[in-house]
Amino acid sequence: MAGKRVLVTGSGTGIGRGIALEFARQGADVVLHYAHSDKGARSAVAEIRALGRRSEAFAANFDRVDEAVGLGEKAISFLGGIDCLINNSGITLNKPFDEVTPEQFDLLYHVNVRAHFFLTQRVARDMLTHGGGSVCNLTSIHGISGAPEHSVYAGTKGAIIAQTRTMAVELAHKGIRVNAIAPGWIAVENHAKAVPGYSDDETARVAAEKIPVGRVGTPADIAGLAVFLCSPEADFIIGQTIVADGGTASLMSLISDFRNRSQNSFGKGYVPGV
């Protein structure tokens, strides 16, 4: 990533901040984005500059397309162009399907899908002027698995997966690679705000029981993958959504305990050795 120019959206906290810092550690110059508080983004900028890399943070409200596109233009101006775009910014909502309002629906699709679409469009036009680049979209396992009260959020994440495939096949021959990452349960600041009685100890206990790898994920688990997908080593990976969830989506929910051998005997009587 030495000398690469990177824009990471939603990078004031959590996964986005971790991705921005990892790109800088690998030699990239990085523009960060935040929607509201600039505290986390500004502290990340300071860390990146301490590494000897160029960095700045810009605000943009992704409910407005003009601000999303404007973010791209500011980043291009500051960096002199963009080689890697990480579309991480997003908001979530849990609410029963029959209680969702049109305003809530529109907000999630505006921020999670529409803003990324038109930001990517603007950045891709810049990439085409200097030989191409890479786009990495952050989706979620909500886009491939069902969870109660997440119909709107899951819909936006499924849309990102579909857009990733289509953008990829349209842009690959022009030198722009597009892929996505679908994280599972990643411990970020928002969980402490949204989950009543949240604690690290309880999170670790639940993760040990529910996630095959036995732990909750961290931003570092996603950051390294994002860097890889934007690197020359991933040059033949096009339009893919890489699931990084500790095995969550691979586990069939009907299986009650994946640690102990099943006492069932499916195949008995007609499969040899059962």
Q: What is the pLDDT of residues 141-151, one digit of tens each?
A: 999 999 999 99
- CA distance linking residue 86 with residue 224, whole number of Å: 13
Split at pLDDT 50, 70, 90, the class of 48 is very high
**What is residue 242's predicted lDDT score, i.e. its pLDDT?**
98
Fold of 5-244: Rossmann fold (3.40.50)
| Whole-number Cα distances in Å, 25 to 39, 51, 84, 92, 238 | 20, 7, 15, 29, 25
Q: pLDDT tens for residues 93-143? A: 899 999 999 999 999 999 999 999 999 999 999 999 999 999 999 999 999
Q: pLDDT tens for residues 167-206? A: 999 999 999 999 999 999 998 877 677 777 778 888 899 8
**What is residue 266's predicted lDDT score, i.e. its pLDDT?**
65
> pLDDT averaged over the chain?
93
For the whole model, what pTM was predicted? 0.92
Query: Comparing 50-64, 86-100, 149-163, 197-211, which segment has the lowest mean pLDDT?
Result: 197-211
Give the residue-averaged pLDDT of 76-104. 95
Does 249 have pLDDT greater than 80?
Answer: yes
Does 45 have pLDDT greater than 90?
Answer: yes
Split at pLDDT 50, 70, 90, the class of 267 is low
**What is residue 106's predicted lDDT score, i.e. its pLDDT?**
96
Domain residue ranges of the chain, discontinuous segments joined by +: 5-244
**What is residue 123's predicted lDDT score, i.e. its pLDDT?**
98
Give the residue-averaged pLDDT of 32-42. 95
Q: Which active-site residues does the annotation give?
A: 140, 153, 157, 198
Please give the share of the chain, as a percent, with pLDDT higher than 70.
Answer: 96
**What is residue 35's predicted lDDT score, i.e. its pLDDT?**
95
Residue predicted with more confidence, 198 or 161: 161
